[in-house]
């Protein structure tokens, strides 16, 4: 467990920004992944919210060398098994009830369990988790919540997701207890609908630059 948690921390810190993507076809998955990779982000969270998600995950792992994919919106043991079988590099949940937490603890790849309250994070900590997703970050206090958690849960690190944008990304990423930030601002639905992947690539490049700038200070 500790080795997988160390690996989870490494994956998140290396990513800096974790684009959260939802795909409706294999072609869309390829186009989004290529725009993200060309923009400078090689780690993404692919949500299991559509029928094609697992197939898309497996396809991207086969076809795009160097890509790191976390299976997101993992809600069940079935999701865990399917994601691992498809080649997921790590797992991410939006929330983590006890049964799911136990299943994640037994998984043989890195996991980033999600929670929204100190009590939930304490329960995850008791199971050995030290790197978690704060979701929905802005709705539950955003920066104030992260600063509040830093004292009592000083050995935990977070990937806040939900309500983060290009305008506040640096401020979130600058928090000492933040390893990574999740978001979909570089994947505007209007751009995707129009096939404007150049905009996705440009916004992704700015996101990658934010990571470099924050880490340089």
Give the residue numbers marked as catalytic.
Answer: 45, 133
Helix (H, G, I), strand (E, B) or coil at 116: coil
d(CA 95, CA 164): 18
Pick left, alpha or beta for residue 142 (phi over 0 → left; psi -120 to 50 → alpha; otherwise beta). Answer: left
Pair type for strands 131-134 and 157-160: parallel
d(CA 73, CA 114): 9
Helix (H, G, I), strand (E, B) or coil at 165: coil
DSSP assigned state of 163 = S
d(CA 120, CA 108): 22
Helix (H, G, I), strand (E, B) or coil at 111: strand
Nearest C-alpha neighbor of 160 from the set 139, 142, 187, 148: 142
d(CA 180, CA 107): 22
Q: What token pair was written down for 129?
A: 């988790």
Phi and psi of 138, rounded to 5°?
-65, -35
């Amino acid at each position: 467990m500790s080795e997988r948690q160390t690996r989870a921390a490494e994956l998140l810190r290396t990513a800096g920004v974790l684009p959260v993507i939802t795909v409706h076809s294999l072609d869309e998955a390829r186009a989004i992944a290529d725009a993200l990779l060309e923009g400078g982000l090689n780690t993404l969270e692919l949500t299991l919210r559509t029928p094609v998600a697992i197939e898309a995950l497996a396809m991207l792992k086969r076809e795009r060398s160097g890509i790191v994919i976390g299976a997101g919106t993992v809600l069940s043991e079935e999701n865990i098994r399917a994601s691992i079988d498809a080649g997921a590099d790590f797992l991410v949940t939006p929330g983590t009830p006890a049964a799911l937490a136990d299943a994640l603890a037994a998984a043989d790849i890195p996991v980033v369990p999600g929670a929204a309250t100190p009590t939930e994070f304490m329960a995850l900590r008791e199971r050995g988790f030290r790197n978690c997703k704060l979701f929905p970050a802005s709705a539950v206090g955003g920066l104030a919540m992260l600063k509040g958690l830093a004292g009592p849960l000083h050995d935990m690190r977070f990937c806040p997701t939900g309500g983060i944008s290009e305008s506040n990304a640096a401020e979130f990423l600058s928090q000492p207890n933040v390893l990574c930030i999740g978001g979909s601002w570089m994947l505007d639905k209007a751009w995707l609908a129009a096939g404007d992947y150049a905009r996705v690539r440009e916004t992704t490049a700015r996101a990658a630059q934010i990571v470099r700038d924050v880490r340089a200070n």
